[in-house]
Structure 1
Amino acid sequence: MNSFKENIEKIIKILDYNFYFVQKLEPERNSENKIIKVKFKLKEGKRINNYGDKEFCKFGIEKEKYYKVAGVYSIIIEGEIKYIGQASDFYKRFKDYGKISERNCYSDGQSTNCKINNLILENYLSGKEIYLYFYPTAYYDKVEKELIRLINPLYNTQLLNNLKNKKVKNINEKYLVDIAQEEIEKIIYSERKLKKTEITILSKDIHERLGWDKRYPTVCSAMRKLKDKYKNEEIYSPPKGNGSSLEIKYIIE
C-alpha cells in the first residue's frame, strides 16, 4: 500500500477481511479556508485525560450511508494501518470523534475521542495522507480484537495495555483463549514467511509474550486447540496437564 497518494485502493484486505474505502479524512475549514481548530479552557483542579489539553478539529462521514451500520474501521496513514476500531453505529462513532466537547477532555470523559481527533489533526498538519476504511460485520467485537492482536496498530495502546495488565481478570475465559491462540498464530505466520515447515511452542514463552499472570491453563488450552488445525506432536506435557512447560511442535507447511 505504498501508492496511496497516487492511487487510492477501493478495497484492501486486512488479514482475511475486505475493508472498503470510506473517504479521505481531512479537518473541516471555515469560509476563509482555514482549518477549524478548538482548544478548551479547562477547569482548574479537575483532572484531565492524556489528550484533554490538546488542540482539536472537526470532521465527519456520510450519514445516509453509514447511520446505524455496524462493523470495524481502520485508519490508515501514509499506507500504514495506525488504528483499528469497532462500532455498532459507524456514523455516530465518527460524529463523536469529529466533534469534541469540553466534557470529553476530563479524566471521566471520552479520552479515545480526544486522542483520535488530535491524531487526525496532527498528522494532517504534518502533510500526511489519512484514509478511512470500513468492514461491515455484526461480529465487530471479535474481528476488532483479532486484528489488534495480530497487527498491533500503533494507536491501539489502550486495549493492548488492558490485556497485559490486571484489567484482564474481568475478561471472559473463552476470549482469553482466543487471544492466546492468535498470539501463537502470529508466531506461526512469521515462521511461515521464513519458509519454516515446523515450529515448537513452549507455553511459558507465550505466557511471557502476553504479559499475563498465572494464566498457564489458558495458554495451554489455546495450544491444544490449535492441534485441530495443524499436524502436531506434544513433546512434553506437565504432570498436571497445564503449566509453564507444555511443549508442542506444529507442522506448518
Structure 2
Amino acid sequence: MKNKITLISDSVTYDFIYIGTIKPKCDEKNNCILTKINNTDYCNFSVSFPEKEGIYLWVLDNQIEYIGNSININHQFNSGFGTITSRNCEKDGQSTNRNLNNAVYREYQNGKLFAIYFCEIINSKKVKSLILKKYKTKYNKRRG
C-alpha cells in the first residue's frame, strides 16, 4: 500500500496521504454486523480520521474508486458512510453513502479493504470539482 498518492489538476499538485482502511464492525466470530434495508445489506463502521476539511480518496486494488470532500472527514465517514439508515435509502436519500457502504461490505467479503487517502485543503468542494474533470471513478456521479 502506498503512503501517498499524487494527483495533478490544472497544473496544481495535490498530495494525498494514507490515513487508514475501512473495516466493518464484526462480532466475535468475525461476522459483519449488518443492517438490512430493502433487501440490501449495509455494514457499520467507525474510523478515527482528522476532524479537518479536505478531499479524500477511496482506493481499492490501487484504483481510485471515489473522490469526496468534506468540512470534517471524521464526521463524514462516521455519520455518513459508516451508519446507513432507512432515510438514506429513500428516493431522495444519499445514494453515494449507501453505495459506498455496501461496497465496503462486499469487498470485505472478498477479503479486501478500502484504503483512504486525505489531502487537507480549504475550498475542498471547488477543488474536488476540478480534480473530477480529469479523474474518473467508479462511484462519483457524472453530472452535466
TM-score, normalisation: structure 2 = 0.88
Counterpart position of 2:42: 56
CA shift at 1:31, angstroms?
Answer: 2.7
* Count of aligned positions: 139
Indicate the RMSD between aligned Cα atoms, in angstroms.
1.5
Structure 1 position 13 matched with structure 2 position 6: yes
Counterpart position of 1:110: 94
Asked if the contact 2:96/2:139 (under 8 Å) is kept, the reply is no
Letter in 2 for 1:10: N
| Structure 1: 4+ residue segments shifted above 3 A | none
CA shift at 1:33, angstroms?
Answer: 2.2
Please show how residues 1-253 of structure 1 align to structure 2 within 5 Å.
8-15=1-8, 16-40=13-37, 42=38, 53-62=39-48, 66-67=50-51, 69-95=52-78, 96-156=80-140, 158=141, 160=142, 162-163=143-144
For structure 2, the residue ranges without an aligned partner over 5 or more in a row are none
CA shift at 1:125, angstroms?
Answer: 1.4
CA shift at 1:30, angstroms?
Answer: 1.5
Larger radius of gyration: 1
Could you tell me how far apart the structure 2 residues matched to 1:124 and 1:140 are?
A: 29
Could you tell me how far apart the structure 2 residues matched to 1:74 and 1:60 are?
A: 17
CA shift at 1:129, angstroms?
Answer: 3.7
Could you tell me how far apart the structure 1 residues matched to 2:113 and 2:74 are?
A: 21
Aligned-residue sequence identity (percent) comes to 27
CA shift at 1:130, angstroms?
Answer: 1.7
Could you tell me how far apart the structure 2 residues matched to 1:144 and 1:60 are?
A: 24
CA shift at 1:10, angstroms?
Answer: 1.8
Could you tell me how far apart the structure 1 residues matched to 2:96 and 2:134 are?
A: 21
Counterpart position of 1:215: none
Structure with greater strand share of residues: 2
SS for the counterpart of 1:148 is helix
Letter in 2 for 1:98: G
Counterpart position of 1:195: none
Could you tell me how far apart the structure 1 residues matched to 2:104 and 2:55 are?
A: 18
CA shift at 1:127, angstroms?
Answer: 2.5
Could you tell me how far apart the structure 1 residues matched to 2:133 and 2:110 are?
A: 28
CA shift at 1:54, angstroms?
Answer: 1.9
Q: Which has the higher contact order (CA 8 A, sep 6+)?
A: 2
SS for the counterpart of 2:99 is helix
Asked if the contact 2:104/2:113 (under 8 Å) is kept, the reply is no
Letter in 2 for 1:88: I
SS for the counterpart of 2:41 is coil
Could you tell me how far apart the structure 1 residues matched to 2:134 and 2:112 are?
A: 25
Could you tell me how far apart the structure 1 residues matched to 2:132 and 2:102 are?
A: 21
Letter in 2 for 1:74: L
